[in-house]
Amino acid sequence: MILCLAYPTDAFHGSELQAAAFSVSSIDNYASAKECAQKWPRSNTSDIHSEEVGGLHFQAAKASETGNSHVADQRIYRIFHKGTCYEVDVNVTIALDSAFAAEDAPRKLTQAERQTIEGTLMKAMSGFRFLK
């Protein structure tokens, strides 16, 4: 991983929010722009499309991963630059009610709270640039 920017969750203590982050990784085993844009390792990848963010042209997609205690929603962006495939992700992980006793269930995020979290991470995404 090249970069990980974690969203501070302190303001949401007691809520279903478990984690939120913006991350950048290089994918070394994709040797071409075609592989980078077309090979998605997650079986539940959906809504694959081209998207321009901050002047860069990405292949974008969505994925959702459900575990025993959480759901991780991912926005995935891929770009091939100077011989390397980069994956830029915006991830929000929410706890499932089933992970808690009924009396301990966390409060649900409001739509406004979720938009604030995602909006902040997307600001980081829109500021992503290659320096070389």
Q: Model confidence at 131, in pLDDT bands (50, 70, 90)? A: confident
Give the range of the structural domain holding residue 80, as residue numbers without chain letter: 3-126
Read off the pLDDT of residues 69-102 as tens digits, 9 standing for 90 and up.
999 999 999 999 999 999 999 999 999 988 888 8
Please say if the pLDDT value at position 4 is more than 90: yes
The length of the chain is: 132
106 Cβ neighbours under 8 A, 6+ residues apart: 14, 15, 16, 95, 97, 100
Q: Give a yes or no: residue 132 inside a domain.
A: no
pLDDT of 8 > 80? The answer is: yes
Tell me if 51 is assigned to some domain: yes
In tens, the pLDDT along 20-35 reads 999 999 998 888 999 9
What CATH number does residue 77 fall under?
Answer: 3.40.1000
- Calculate the average pLDDT of the chain: 93
pTM: 0.89
Distance CA 74, CA 90 (A): 6
Residue 70 belongs to some domain of the structure: yes
Provide the pLDDT for residue 25: 95
| Total domains, the chain | 1
Asked if the model's pLDDT at residue 47 lies above 90, the reply is yes
Q: At 103, is the secondary structure helix, strand, or coil?
A: helix
Q: Is residue 75 part of a domain?
A: yes
